[in-house]
Amino acid sequence: MAVYALTGFSLVSLLSFGYLSWDWMKPSLVANVAMDPMEKSLPPAFARPPHIIFILTDDQGYHDVGYHGSDIQTPTLDRLAAEGVKLENYYIQPICTPSRSQLITGRYQIHTGLQHSIIRPRQPNCLPLDQVTLPQKLQEAGYSTHMVGKWHLGFYKKECLPTRRGFDTFLGSLTGNVDYYTYDNCDGPGVCGYDLHEGEDVAWDQSGKYSTFLYAQRVSKILASHSPKEPIFIYVAFQAVHTPLQSPKEYIYRYRSMGNVARRKYAAMVTCMDEAVKNITWALKKYGYYDNSVIVFSTDNGGQTFSGGSNWPLRGRKGTYWEGGVRGIGFVHSPLIKRKRRTSWALVHITDWYPTLVSLARGNLSNVPGLDGYNVWPAISEGKESPRTEILHNIDPLYNHAKYGSLEDGFGIWNTAVQASIRVGEWKLLTGDPGYSDWIPPQTLTNFPGSWWNLERLTDGLRKSVWLFNITADPYERYDLSDQRPDVVRTLLMRLVHYNRTAIPVRYPAENPRAHPDFNGGAWGPWASEDDVEEWEGIGEPLKSRNKKKKCKICKLRSFFRKLNTRLMSNRI
């Protein structure tokens, strides 16, 4: 099992590592930028709209940062967090696309139709085009906007691409995971293609460069070519530390005493990413941005435990609605923060960054009503109470229904077979199948208390579809209180009913063989024709009646490509 694969780490190995120190406060790294005479009368904080750097890592576990007691070295993240504000009541989504869509739109998945799974490479699907994105709002506020890294919000037509959704420039991948050096991605046997793009073109010339370094270098280049007098937003969505587990050898060597191979490679990738963040911070100082900057760091979901990640001591892993899947690493580092060097327990969700950052940029939120996020800057900067009191983790009507759930178990108001989760105040409710539910210890622990470890195994056989936890008192979700507090269960079920009434239909179309990279020059990229776009205009809703002759042509075209695709795959096999 995965848990046994994570054991076997010796604490002695931790002592053998040298702490990666770096002099990031060196005066020579800060460019001397002259201030306009008119600005000398303004207060130093927010004399201009701040530069915003949003760093998102992929599949980094809750335990996998130094200040959470990890065996992995992250000196940069530790120092940035220590000198800023650590967010220890911060929530994200359990998988890639949902977190990214909620960051970019400020809306829950149920309000964008992306409440089920991820956007897959061959699906004619993307972030709904009627959504005004975070970078678009920042462009309105006068910002230069740039994206570096993983998109994973759909690309079946050009209108879905990052450069059409608010980013002035883009360097990165469109799909969910690629090789860190070759940028190849296979979506099944024989369905492989290249996925690194510069703007709307395929970046063939960048192949062979390790993505973590490539992305950090691109950020430095952007900063070097931009004026610090003009506001800039850079969204850095590292591919790290998602599989495949690949890292330069010198980083793996530092963890050579780790017995578990997956953990060793994973640790190397985390430390490499930490060094990339160091280089980005250095560039902010060198080119004169730092004093008027806000750096936000966030993970996108819980760590994948069978791929080296650890969410200890939280329950669950990536892809689950247990805390190990949805509680993230998060912090804000900025000279503009009024109360620095502290830990915040204010409730914050990834949707909150949209209104928070637009407000910091002095942008206009009046024309984007119905956001699910809140402006949490006063809570972060001044230590005020968070305006957020609840979080809808999700409602997924398409996920496999729990075998023992029913409307009766939900007091006649909610079918508990449906996968859903919500946090209200200190209470958290889960219904349906929340996903893999074990606590997986870090490999530094060779002997683990059997009673706690066996707790879930003792309840595995029970016919359950409802769980209730007091997350404030029990952040590790050890004690299910659903039987003791049916009143709280009913109250939270009513909140689920409320949210479900506002949900739009799920957007999860069937895969289309026309997306095969072999039909697109060997690379993943936009592939839909005008007829396709018209037919899929109402994804998630009943298709409108169309001309039968046109439908017949589309069907024949699909049949042709399906047969061609089958022949290609059989030849490769």
Please identify every residue annotated as catalytic: 96, 152
Residue 333 pairs in a beta bridge with 295
The residue type at 431: T
User: What's the token pair of residue 61?
Assistant: 């576990």
Query: Side by side, which strands form the sheet with 466-470?
Result: 390-396, 419-424, 427-431, 466-470
Residue whose token pair is 């003009």: 230
User: What's the token pair of residue 232?
Assistant: 């800039």
Closest CA to 314 of 69, 4, 490: 69
The residue type at 494: M
Dihedral over Cα of 372, 131, 324, 398: its sign: positive
Give me the DSSP letters along 483-526.
TT-HHHHHHHHHHHHHHHTTPPPP--PPP-GGG-GGGTTTB---
Angle 168-174-178 (CA atoms, 0-180°, nearest 5)? 130
- Evaluate the omega torsion of the peptide bond into residue 244 and state whether it is cis, within 30 degrees of 0: yes
Give me the DSSP letters along 443-475.
TT-SS--HHHHTHHHHHTTS---EEEEETTT-T
Assign 76 to helix, strand or coil: helix
User: What residues have CB less than 8 Å from 401, skipping those under 6 apart?
Assistant: 415, 417, 418, 419, 432, 433
Residues 284 and 53: beta-carbon distance below 8 Å: yes
DSSP state of 111: G
Q: How far apart are CA 416 and CA 88, in angstroms?
A: 30
Half-sphere exposure of residue 28: CA atoms within 13 angstroms, side-chain side: 1
Strand-pair category, 330-333 with 293-299: antiparallel
Residue 237 pairs in a beta bridge with 56, 149
Residues 162 and 147: beta-carbon distance below 8 Å: yes
The residue type at 14: L
Q: How far apart are CA 307 and CA 265, in angstroms?
A: 9
Residues 320 and 94: beta-carbon distance below 8 Å: yes
Q: How far apart are CA 87 and CA 152, in angstroms?
A: 25
Q: Is 447 exposed, middle or buried (0-12, 13-18, 19+ CB in 10 A)?
A: exposed
Q: Is the backbone of residue 432 left (phi > 0), alpha (psi -120 to 50) or beta? A: left
Assign 550 to helix, strand or coil: helix
Residues 569 and 518: beta-carbon distance below 8 Å: no
The residue count for the chain = 573
